[in-house]
Amino acid sequence: MAGTKAAAALLGFVALQIIFNITIPAVTSVQLNPGGGLCYLNLLKGSVCDFVYVTSGFGFLFSLVLLAPAISTLRGGQDRFLEAIFGSLSLFGAFWWMVLAITITIRGGQATDAGYEGTTARNAVIGLSWIEAVLFFFSFLAVVYDRIAFRRYRAKMARSRSLLDLEQRTEFKQHYAATQVLGSTPLA
């Protein structure tokens, strides 16, 4: 049950990530990057706008990679869990978006102080970038929660083995040892 809850949460976070991964570069290209090397996110020519486009592209790719295991886990049922690698990917994405958000917060403030136009769009991109960083971090937390649930599930399964299972395992080991000594496979 916990595996499906975490996968459902991850699916929701990834859906929002995809929406914002499309919105951020769209607002940047239409409102903040009029052409000619100008970028109203900073005082320098275009470099921060390029950083927004690259981060959005990689963020979109990371979101699609996270989408597959979330759907697979939900379709697999209650005994399916997310792999730990997706937590690492989410944490990396959160770090990347945080770096972008810090950069455009500082550079955007400088652009606002210099009187560049597009203050509303700039503030929207800055806010959405921080939201992306938080969404990726929440994706990481969903995978961590799922890994904890997996460990509990595995411990519960180990405790629920009956004595009959243990007897069968011991009997199998005895037959297997006899097979190794005799060089043949026992038939019944």
For the stretch 127-157, pLDDT in tens is 999 999 999 999 999 888 888 888 888 777 7
pLDDT digits (tens, 9 = 90+) for 72-130: 877 776 667 778 888 899 999 999 999 999 999 999 999 999 988 889 999 999 999 99
Q: For the chain, what is the mean pLDDT? A: 83
Among 144, 155, 141, 6, smallest CA distance to 80 is for: 6
